[in-house]
Amino acid sequence: MTALAWDLLEAADVAAFLVPEGLIDRAPQVPWPCRAARLALPPGGMAALPSPLPAGVVVLEAPAGTPGTGADAGRGEAPAGGPPRAVAAGPAAGLARLSRAWPDLAALLARHDRTPLRLRFADGTAWDLSDRPRLMAILNVTPDSFSDGGLHESPAAALARAERCLAEGADLLDVGGESTRPGAAPVDAEAESRRVVPVVAALRTRFPAHRLSIDTRRAAVARRALEAGADLINDVSAGADPAMLPLAAAAGVPVALMHMRGEPGTMQRDTRYADLVGEVAEALESAAERARRAGVADDRILLDPGLGFGKSAEGNELLLRQLGALRSLGSPLLVGASRKTFIGHLTGVSDPAARLAGSVAAAVVAALRGAAVLRVHDVGATREALAVATALRRARGTDGC
Ligand code: HH2
């Protein structure tokens, strides 16, 4: 197993990897299987698991005493406690036995049975997200967004920006009328609608065949944007407005549900978590469940770890490193790292607009670790980098992950 797989584990943790069918023969060598999850062992621990394990299931156990949370955790160095243990292969019939012994694994398998990696729009057409990540171009019509505030407030400027993004290869234009940067003050629904609705309407007229999303926490704004032609709701509060998920269900549009702890105004005051990846996964899972209960179909749900929303720089890095664990939730992942503070923290570049190289690197890593949609400012540069990274990844024979 490679150091990448090791990144998923913390001390005394266990990870289950469900290996794609075509790679079962090479299960122990699979570099980064897409279907990986950190799971708690069943009562009785490893001894409670049937032996041999069924085909396609790999269990990694972090040896006790491994410095999984120390300064070198997840940096790709060999763990001090020796390599993780990999157990693979066995009869497929053993899967049911394994699931009985290990309820968390049974839930994981059920999620994978349920969800195709695609995103279906209201008109019934769908994106197949297993081929390449889609690019969601950021189009903020705000005076105060952290990077592009004030640049595209007039419909003419917004149209020019949209035209450039689409020419550079954007799959989706994400129109936002409220900055959610740390410390931002909320905007009321009327003011937000006045900013975004005319822009969505103008984009719909000018680019009838392109996908548009509305980045809002307010159902009243989303409703008007959908009427003006938006195809997707991007909700950084994951349905905090009780009318949002029923609206998405009734309109039959996909909805992106993002993890955020607290409110933009205060979310960076305390960014400590006992288990960041576990808490984000749990919150996203319950957001997806709320969406399903409201009537949103499985193939209309996108989940997003919310980089920069109530997380420290190190927390954002950890979430990107362990994105594979969130893939186990079964829904396609949206990731927005573009120009954010943690990129500046890593590169030393303080001007958000100058964080191109770091943002592209983060987008490539997110894509290689399973992100299906990347929310970016710099469409052309990201598209070019992804073209190279995905081609070289294929050459390594890891297709299907
Ligand atoms: N980040 C921002 C806004 N919306 N939506 C999703 N799904 N994921 C994100 O990471 C995300 C988002 C913040 O970035 P930006 O829109 O560029 O800035 P601002 O909030 O200042 O307008």
**Pocket residue to mutate for ligand 1, from 175, 216, 258, most atoms within 8 A of Cβ:** 258
Can you give the pLDDT at residue 106?
72
Can you give the pLDDT at residue 32?
41
DSSP-derived 3-state class of residue 116: coil
Give the residue ranges of DSSP H helices in 269-327: 276-294, 313-321, 323-327
Burial-class residue 240 by CB neighbours within 10 Å (0-12, 13-18, 19+): middle
Q: Tell me how long the chain is.
A: 401
Q: Is 311 tagged catalytic? A: no
Q: Which atom of ligand 1 is nearest to the CA of 234?
A: 7
Can you give the pLDDT at residue 263?
84
Under-50 pLDDT residues of the chain: 1-7, 11-12, 31-34, 65-92, 395-401
Can you give the pLDDT at residue 109?
66
Pairing of strands 134-140, 371-376: parallel
Q: Is 340 tagged catalytic? A: yes
**Which of these is catalytic: 181, 217, 261, 340?**
340
Cα of first residue to Cα of last residue in the chain, in angstroms, is 15
Give percent helix, percent strand, percent coil of the chain, each to the nearest 5: 40, 15, 45
Given a contact cutoff of 8 angstroms between Cβ atoms, the answer to whether 330 and 111 are in contact is yes
Hunting for tokens 């909805």 — which residue is that? 255
> Ligand 1 in contact with 322 (CB < 6 A)?
no
